[in-house]
Structure 1
Amino acid sequence: MTTALLRDVTLRDGLQLTGKTLDVATRVDLARTLLRAGVPELEIGSMARPDLVPPMAGSLDIVAALTPEELDRCWIWVATPRHVEKAVAAGAKNVQYCFSASDAHNKANIGRLTEDSVAAMPTAIDIVKEAGGRIQLCIATSFTCPFDGAVDPDRVRGIVADPRTAGADDVVLADTLGQAHPGQVRDLFATAPVGDRRPVFHGHDTWGMGVANALAAIDGGAQVVDGALAGLGGCPFAPGASGNTASEDLLFATRPDYLTPQVLAELVRAGEVLLAELGEASRSKAAQGARSEAKAFDWVIG
């Protein structure tokens, strides 16, 4: 099994369902903490309407606060070419163009049919490429839809193969509800016609399969897996969705070269500070283990 990169999505998907909002300065500080720790890539915000998703207000202010070098490693969520225009104008370099495989969820989340989102993607690609950036094709509800149930894998493969999505740099397949099992995830990644685009897995841990599904995705060819500190997050338009797979758990499982006990401790502490600010509970098993009494184990925080 090849080790995949972690993209931490705390600042976007991780904050979406929290009852409290964080100011821009706090979010910028957290982004820099994650980047300094060695996390290769981050999601830092969303172009979703702040009246619908209040924790995402100020996302473009985060873009403005980061350096070009930092922004090279950061992504912002978009759903329309207009979103892309605004993000790029603010200085964003990398955008995640997201829509759902199921029409019912796409209408609830974005307000249009899946076909409408696919049809608009070439315009979004052109805007990003003209600015010298990167764009991801992100397919939410790649496994199950909260309204329609199971999603036909051929529908997902068809979107990936559609010529209108071919200009994407990456393909993100999202287990939005966290209901997939490892066999499903491995099979979809092994058979999705991504070509030379980078395959990415976005998982949730609703049924306790977050890490197992991420490892299965890697086994099927995924090169990047998404996680959020302490397992925060979820989609506000997907009933039944719970937190993301915890970044701490994914790192402990995949052991990238930059991960040392000291780095893990720094990330656990960052997650604890964030949880205290938000009034949320941790869902990370690795963070719990790091605070255990097994002092002879190098990964336990002293």
Structure 2
Amino acid sequence: MILRDVTLRDGLQLTGKLLPVQRKVEIVHALLAAGIPELEIGSLARADLVPPMANTLELVSALTEEELDRCWIWVATPRHVEKALAAGARRFQYCFSVSDSHNRANIGRDTEDSLAAMPAAVELARAAGGSIQLCLATSFTCPFDGPVDPDRVLEIACDPRADGSADVVVADTLGQAVPAQVSALVSRIRGESPDRRIVYHGHDTWGLGVANGLAAVEAGANVVDGALGGLGGCPFAPGASGNTASEDLLFATRPSWLSPHVFADIVRLGEDVVAELDEPNRSRARQGARSEADAFEWVVRA
């Protein structure tokens, strides 16, 4: 499994606090230095609607080409891709909702309109030597319409207008899915849609974030999203809580690059970030890491 840390995009969306560009650069450097393979570092959402994203293009401009090769930017229109390309970005997450109601609330247009614009976004990214993902928000439930039909998710994933996307992101935007649902949908996307990486994006609203992430990997997902301290949520999705904590996903999966020492550094970074934002730390692994079980090598002692 590859962890993509989304602290600097989805993690910050609901905090209401704009971190300075230099602090965001420091967080990028710390996460990459720790060994986390990929990051999502910002969005082109309107700054008046999502203020913590206001300096995303400044952050992109402050990073090296090598760093940006591991960083994704959330976009929703071809114009977003153009603006991010001009700043130096080369990896884009083109996102819209399977549910029309959520897409209108989040992006201001119907799902069909977002899908119709995707070929232009794909062409812009590919012409610049970049990569673009098809990101399907509300793949399981919609805050306005309720359950989402898995057939509709597959229909979009297989739509030729999404051809050229390197990955498909399956998002449990509200964190209401259970492992059996995640496994079933990821399995269908793996078997019935074009061959590409599958990214699972989950929230921990009902306490099943890690279980759903593991179910996604077992069903064929290549990448799972998480955020430090369980930060995050969608400003246009009533009832959603934070992302699955990166610390929890890492402790559960123990990738080869993760040592107790590196894990401790990530726990401390998460503690620092949530404290700066005046947010609670929702990571259960962080709670365990700060326990008094001194004989356990994963406990963080300072």
Shorter-chain TM range is over 0.9
Structure 2 counterparts to residues 71-150 of structure 1, below 5 A: 71-150=68-147
Tell me the SS of whatever aligns to 1:98.
strand
Please say if residues 169 and 199 of structure 2, whose CA atoms lie closer than 8 Å, have aligned partners that are also in contact: yes
- Matched residue pairs, number? 299
Please say if residues 16 and 51 of structure 2, whose CA atoms lie closer than 8 Å, have aligned partners that are also in contact: no
Number of the residue aligned with 1:254: 253
- CA-CA distance at 1:196 after TM superposition: 1.9
Please say if residues 20 and 278 of structure 1, whose CA atoms lie closer than 8 Å, have aligned partners that are also in contact: yes
The TM-score with structure 1 as length reference comes to 0.98
The TM-score with structure 2 as length reference comes to 0.98
Determine the C-alpha separation between the residues in 1 that align with 2:125 and 2:218.
30
- CA-CA distance at 1:47 after TM superposition: 0.2
Counterpart residue type for residue 278 of structure 2: G
Number of the residue aligned with 2:168: 171
Which digits, 9 at most, give the CA deviation of each residue in 1:97-130, with x for residues without a partner?
Answer: 0000000000000000000000000000000000
Gaps of 5+ in 2: none
- CA-CA distance at 1:20 after TM superposition: 2.0
Is 1:184 the counterpart of 2:163 in the alignment?
no
Tell me the SS of whatever aligns to 1:173.
strand
Number of the residue aligned with 2:229: 230
Is 1:195 the counterpart of 2:223 in the alignment?
no
Cα RMSD after superposing both structures: 0.6
Structure 2 counterparts to residues 264-279 of structure 1, below 5 A: 264-279=263-278
Q: Which of residues 3, 11, 16 is equivalent to 1:14?
A: 11
- CA-CA distance at 1:276 after TM superposition: 1.3
Determine the C-alpha separation between the residues in 1 that align with 2:228 and 2:300.
17
Determine the C-alpha separation between the residues in 1 that align with 2:205 and 2:275.
22
Which digits, 9 at most, give the CA deviation of each residue in 1:202-238, with x for residues without a partner?
Answer: 0000000100000000011000000000000000000
Determine the C-alpha separation between the residues in 2 that align with 1:74 and 1:149.
32
Determine the C-alpha separation between the residues in 2 that align with 1:280 and 1:19.
10
Please say if residues 142 and 176 of structure 1, whose CA atoms lie closer than 8 Å, have aligned partners that are also in contact: yes
Determine the C-alpha separation between the residues in 2 that align with 1:135 and 1:277.
32
- CA-CA distance at 1:28 after TM superposition: 0.8
Determine the C-alpha separation between the residues in 1 that align with 2:279 and 2:123.
40
- CA-CA distance at 1:243 after TM superposition: 0.1
Number of the residue aligned with 1:244: 243
Is 1:31 the counterpart of 2:28 in the alignment?
yes
Please say if residues 171 and 194 of structure 1, whose CA atoms lie closer than 8 Å, have aligned partners that are also in contact: no
Gaps of 5+ in 1: none
Number of the residue aligned with 1:51: 48
Counterpart residue type for residue 103 of structure 1: D
Which digits, 9 at most, give the CA deviation of each residue in 1:49-89, with x for residues without a partner?
Answer: 00000000100111001100000000000000000110111
Tell me the SS of whatever aligns to 2:136.
strand
